[in-house]
Amino acid sequence: MKVYALYLPQFHETSENNEWWGKGFTEWTNVKKAKPLYRGHEQPKHPLNDNYYNILEKSTVEWQTELMHEYRIDGFIYYHYYFNGNKILEKPAENLLKWKEINQPFFFNWANHTWNRSWKGSTEVLIKQTYGNKNDWREHFEYLLPFFNDHRYIKINNKPVFIIYDGSFLEKKEMFECFDEWCKESGFEGLYLIEECFSVKKTALMQFKNNLSPVTKQIYYTQPLIGRSLFNMKSRFSILKEKVINRLNQKSIIKHTKIYKGDDLLNISMKNCTFDNMIPGLFFEWDNTPRHSNRGFIIRGLSKETFFEYMNFYRDSNFMILNAWNEWCEGMMLEPTKELGYKYLEWIRDWKNSENDNKK
């Protein structure tokens, strides 16, 4: 089983982020200003050796790639932000395309959602996602094609792998039939499309599956959101309670941070997520309070025993998607921290080594 890690490219300045969040903003801005919300809350988090890197520096990408190989991560999944011709945070992937000597396998997850000022509890739209027409889709495809052609871009059966975050838009079917055809015209066997799923509630799951693109090959069940939704579904009261608490937090009437146990979320996932053409997700812990304060929630870290059990449970999957390599403001990072060192990277390497031992 391959293990791929989601990769956030927001560790450098952009003109848009400077305008929306202040001059000099990067992901590190929110990481550094995080504060503990209760006694024992471990915030802020710190990169090991104060490595507040700039992701546009080649030495940073080389370091990340070396870590990836050393700890047996099979590749990165770059978030791809494309708004009908407008690109944001595109420079890290474009740099990788230029730096052919860096042996970093990768593919894209198109984060095709509207951006708003949600970090501050606002619905103000910063940039709206629209899809245009066939000419616009062709322009998008032509932008992607040099990446697809790169020998490091991950393909399955000579089909470039491409994830979409939100598959609910009306143009999806026709758009990706075009992408599939254009891939074939470009020398591939088609497009290997993966769609993200965030809920296993029966009605929502049926609607999701009925709306899949004909080109879709697999469904990625996103963690920790799947585990959290399953856990909350155990009780109608807990769902109602969470909605009320979220609303009161939004209005700053109360300050309450919901806390989960990571082991609980993975255990309930193993009991409920055994679908055909499923790609399982994985996380180690979560804390998005640096972005959302009390509006966020926390998931305490996994035990190594539950991690091994989960990996063994899904070991026959063709790959696992790990959330994430460097989501520092959501408390999901494999990169070494001052608090935990290389802990979770070491767990992955330990599991991969144990798999090799079992095959001997």
pLDDT in tens, 210-228: 999 999 999 999 999 999 9
Closest CA to 201 of 245, 241, 239: 239
Q: Where are the domains of the chain?
A: 2-359
The single-letter code of the amino acid at 152 is R
d(CA 27, CA 7): 13
> Beta 115-116 vs 125-127: how paired, if at all?
antiparallel
Say what angle helices 304-313 and 343-359 make with each other, to 10 degrees. Answer: 50
Residue 264 in tokens: 């609980």
What value does the CA radius of gyration of the chain take, rounded to a whole number of Å?
A: 20
Beta bridge mates, 194: 163, 218
> 271: burial class by Cβ within 10 Å (0-12, 13-18, 19+)?
exposed
d(CA 48, CA 341): 7
d(CA 181, CA 188): 9
d(CA 242, CA 51): 36
Alpha helices by DSSP H, listed for the chain, are 15-21, 27-33, 58-70, 91-98, 134-149, 172-185, 202-210, 225-233, 236-250, 262-272, 289-292, 304-313, 343-359
Q: What are phi and psi of 185, to 5 degrees?
A: -65, -25
Residue 113 in tokens: 């959602």
Cis omega (within 30 of 0) for bond into 111: no
Give residue for tokens 């801005």. Answer: 29
Instruction: Please report, in tens digits, the pLDDT of each residue of the chain (360 residues total).
Output: 999 999 999 999 999 999 999 999 999 999 999 999 999 999 999 999 999 999 999 999 999 999 999 999 999 999 999 999 999 999 999 999 999 999 999 999 999 999 988 666 667 899 999 999 999 999 999 999 999 999 999 999 999 999 999 999 999 999 999 999 999 999 999 999 999 999 888 888 888 999 999 999 999 999 999 999 899 887 655 656 666 666 665 656 556 688 999 999 999 999 999 998 999 999 999 999 999 888 889 999 999 999 999 999 999 999 999 999 999 999 999 999 999 999 999 999 999 999 877 766
Closest CA to 219 of 236, 206, 237, 229: 206
d(CA 302, CA 98): 38
- What's the CA angle centered on 123, arms 329 and 88, to 5 degrees? 55
pTM value surpassing 0.85? yes
**DSSP state, residue 330:** G
Q: Which CATH superfamily is 2-359 part of?
A: Glycosidases (3.20.20.80)
CB 37 within 8 A of CB 106: no
Residue 322 in tokens: 């790990």
